[in-house]
Amino acid sequence: MQTAKTLRMTPQRRVILEELRKVDTHPTADELYEMVRKRLPKVSLGTIYRNLDLLSSDGVIQKLQAGNSQMRFDGNAEPHMHISCIKCGRVADVHSGPDTSALSQEVETDFILLGCTVLLYGICPQCAADGKTSERFTP
């Protein structure tokens, strides 16, 4: 989970991180690309991907698999639950709820247990209102 290399603070990296932390929408790489592009028009999608990868490997941000094929990113590296809309793919934080970190302690497995993710899924308020087109979702 950690890179030995020193991460240089390039303008690109800084803006990516700033933009990601500015929102709580858990954007996809593409969405973040558009956000960053408004400030750095010449940035490339490859740079976005490379940075998101480095930053998540370093534990600075979180890479999320939220029920569809596209990865999403969370500027908040603290472990917390997420809920994903099966219709539109939107992802939201879940701040309440039971302590899932204890979950790991109660499990029987021959694996060396390192952690646990909980993904809730459902329908977001927007999609509940208007019956929009459905997206691919895998619980």
Partner DNA sequence: CTTGTTGCAAACTCTTTGCACTTAG
Partner DNA sequence: CTAAGTGCAAAGAGTTTGCAACAAG
Point out which residues bind DNA (CB under 7 A): 5-13, 28-30, 40, 42-47, 49-51, 53-54, 69-71, 136
Among 7, 76, 104, 132, binds a second copy (CB under 8 A): 104
**With respect to DNA, which residue has the nearer C-beta, 40 or 88?**
40
Which backbone phi and psi does 36 adopt, to 5 degrees?
A: -70, -35
The site for a second copy, by CB under 8 A, has a size of: 44
**With respect to a second copy, which residue has the nearer C-beta, 15 or 124?**
124
113 binds a second copy (CB under 8 A): yes
Distances (CA, A) of 32 to 14, 36, 64, 91, 113: 13, 6, 14, 14, 32
**With respect to DNA, which residue has the nearer C-beta, 13 or 100?**
13
CB of 51 to DNA, least distance (A): 5
List beta partners, residue 130: none
Give the integer Cα–Cα distance in Å for 58 and 49. 14
107 binds a second copy (CB under 8 A): yes
> Does residue 80 come out as left (phi exceeding 0), alpha (psi in the -120 to 50 range) or beta?
beta
CB of 44 to DNA, least distance (A): 4
State the burial class of residue 61 (Cβ atoms within 10 Å of its Cβ: 0-12, 13-18, 19+).
buried
17 binds a second copy (CB under 8 A): no
25 binds a second copy (CB under 8 A): no
